[in-house]
Amino acid sequence: MRRNVSRLSIVLIALSALAACASDPQAGISFDPLERFPAEALWRWDDTANVLPEDPRLAPMQLDSVLRDAVSAELTAHGYREAGSNQSDYLVSYELRLTTRVRPETSISVASLSLLIREAATRRRVWLAFLQTEIDVSRSDAERRKRVREVVARMLRDFPPQHGGG
């Protein structure tokens, strides 16, 4: 029952974020309130779960390395270190989707980014952050990297969640 309620809440939050589209990023988080996130932990990439759009025009943008660098920097800033081996507390993955919305006078490119953190031992989802924003494909590489860092920082701003009462 709790699992169904958790899934439903994730779906509702994701749908509400996807329903709104503005130049200011629309963001949200969901996490397992029963998970006790430590102040420091080890994590590693769950490479098989990472998803990038299959568009050859995006290859020069090196989105995988840009996302990895931004996520790694933010998690490190929050006390979570990347594990060099399979010994980790958490698995981290991302999913990036790009869509084009056609409006009467223009078309808008929209990026939807999700970051998922799973408990390594059980692969149970414990944290989900998502953000949707309009994108400007004409940005320079430096501007794009800066924007991705800002977006990822916003997504992980409150990670790990603090639990009241110890």
Measured distance CA(6)–CA(25) in Å, rounded: 24
- Would residue 165 count as lying in a domain? no
Q: How many domains does the chain have?
A: 1
Query: Per residue in 121-149, pLDDT tens?
Result: 999 999 999 999 887 777 788 888 898 89
**Which residues, in sequence order, are bridge partners of residue 118?**
91, 125
- Would residue 75 count as lying in a domain? yes
Using 50, 70 and 90 to split pLDDT, how confident is the model at 155? very high
The CATH number of whichever domain residue 12 belongs to comes to 3.30.160
Measured distance CA(29)–CA(115) in Å, rounded: 9
Percent of the chain with pLDDT over 70: 79
Which amino acid appears at position 50 of this protein?
Answer: N
**Average pLDDT of 13-34?**
61
**Average pLDDT of 83-89?**
83
Other Cβ atoms closer than 10 A to 99? 13
- Would residue 36 count as lying in a domain? yes
- Would residue 162 count as lying in a domain? no
Using 50, 70 and 90 to split pLDDT, how confident is the model at 20? very low
Residue 85 half-sphere exposure toward CB, CA atoms < 13 A: 1
Structure tokens that stand for 131 in this block: 């953000």
Task: Output the pTM of the full model.
Answer: 0.77
**Average pLDDT of 80-100?**
89
Q: Please give the residue that has the higher pLDDT: either 162 or 150.
A: 150
Q: Is the pLDDT of residue 2 over 70?
A: no
- Would residue 161 count as lying in a domain? no
Query: Per residue in 43-70, pLDDT tens?
Result: 999 988 888 888 776 766 788 889 999 9
Task: Return mean pLDDT, the chain.
Answer: 80
Q: Is the pLDDT of residue 5 over 50?
A: no
Sign of CA dihedral 25, 112, 4, 165: negative
Measured distance CA(89)–CA(81) in Å, rounded: 10
Residue pointed to by tokens 């060099």: 84
Range of the domain at 29: 2-155
Structure tokens that stand for 44 in this block: 């590693």
- Would residue 163 count as lying in a domain? no
Sign of CA dihedral 128, 133, 138, 143: negative
